[in-house]
Amino acid sequence: MEQLRISGGARISGELRASGAKNSALKLFAGALLANEPVTISNVPHLRDVTTMIELLGTLGVEVVVDERMNVEIHANTINCFKAPYDLVKTMRASFNVLGPMLARYGRAEVSLPGGCAIGSRPVDQHLKGLKAMGAKIDMQQGYVKASAKGRLKGADIVFDFNTVGGTEHLMMTATLAEGTTLLVNCAQEPEIVDLAEFLNSLGANISGAGTSTIVIEGVKELSGGQHTVISDRIECGTYLIAAAATGGHIKINGAAPSLNTALLEKLEEAGADLNLTDDSIELDMHGARPKAVSIVTAPFPGFPTDLQAQIMAMNCIADGAAMIQETIFENRFMHVQELKRMNADISLDGNHTTAVVNGVASLVGAPVMATDLRASVSLVIAGLVAEGITIVDRIYHIDRGYQQIEEKLKNLGAEISRHGY
């Protein structure tokens, strides 16, 4: 096991380059299973979840070559196994999305029900409903989804019961090789969906409407090879921007697209930040000032992302004033509250644990804290940066799922932080 040791009080200041988006790269890997020629994906982040996905593809027999710059070449023609095992799928929800591409191309697939962070119920019923509508036979056997199809899947009109990013991505991928037209209605609109659609179109797919609530896919017989560069990670960028704001610092992130983080940038301006934006960079300067408290309501894109809720709460803990944070996406995403309270944060929850009221305090106090999920864990790091004394963050394997070399990047920005094993 490893932990992070943070000595608080240092101001975050400097420049860094945005990593590629984990949530995009993982789905691009799944989409590469549809191609009958090699596919190269660049700007891939070096993360535990990425390593797990590569391992999963290897288990299926897919040939994967990774160079020293994390360019990943995938050749799916070598696939010789159609079962994605529990031991790998349980650790990462995105791995479930290999089901549809294997089914669409090879007519069969068997994938374990997914795992991932313990942040509430994230069912796959919308995924399975859509696959059935396209003609797939679905059986549940001992925790596995076993899917089969006779011949090509058929295009269908599919209306999602609720906003689902994974479901939208999964069915969009699957429909690329289906016979006829597929209409997806009530789709999620996240930038990662647009990135996936552009990738598939570059291989020969015919997808229109990605980034809107309605996506139309005209099925094609096959996809060819190609190359694609992963978009920047808007959640990683947002995390470092919030860390700089919380510490009264100054940061410039290169390779970041402001259009992917509009909701956050508006809130950071409300908190007192000066922003300088270009097409591929974000610069934030707090001029040494304490941030003002900002209230948020999480919402699907383009609203405020649930994946930045914990980080903004950490900033609010030491902000000037009081703020209300309402979580509308996941029902169990305030697990960081108790850990922040160990550091002297003043936070109260409503009876349903969907709304938190944060009263900013003059300072937090360093303490031993425990990470409970990916984004909650990084909120504790931000709290440690502004706390008096030493903060020890335990169970940081959660952080390593989504943040590449976090301690090195923060060190380069002036933080006193180090990684220790025990």
Residues with a catalytic annotation lie at 117
Distances in whole angstroms, Cα of residue 391 to Cα of each of 8, 317, 375, 382: 8, 15, 17, 10
Q: Which residue has the tokens 């374990």?
A: 112
Contacts of 168 (CB under 8 A, 6+ apart): 160, 184, 187, 188, 193, 215
At 71, list the tokens.
Answer: 């360019």
d(CA 366, CA 342): 9
Please check whether residue 217 is in contact with residue 155, taking contact to mean a CB–CB distance below 8 angstroms. yes
In this structure, the number of other CB atoms found within 10 A of the CB of residue 260 comes to 26
d(CA 212, CA 317): 35
| Max Cα distance, the chain (Å) | 65
> Which DSSP symbol is given to 135?
T
At 260, list the tokens.
Answer: 């992917």
d(CA 339, CA 368): 9
Please check whether residue 87 is in contact with residue 56, taking contact to mean a CB–CB distance below 8 angstroms. no
> Which DSSP symbol is given to 154?
B
Contacts of 326 (CB under 8 A, 6+ apart): 296, 297, 298, 354, 355, 356
In terms of Cα–Cα distance, which of 416, 11, 422, 46 is closest to 230?
Answer: 46
Q: How many residues does the chain have?
A: 422
The terminus-to-terminus CA distance of the chain in angstroms comes to 6
Please check whether residue 78 is in contact with residue 64, taking contact to mean a CB–CB distance below 8 angstroms. no
d(CA 383, CA 390): 11
d(CA 354, CA 356): 7
- DSSP-assigned letters across all residues of 233-244: -HHHHHHHHHHH
d(CA 260, CA 192): 10
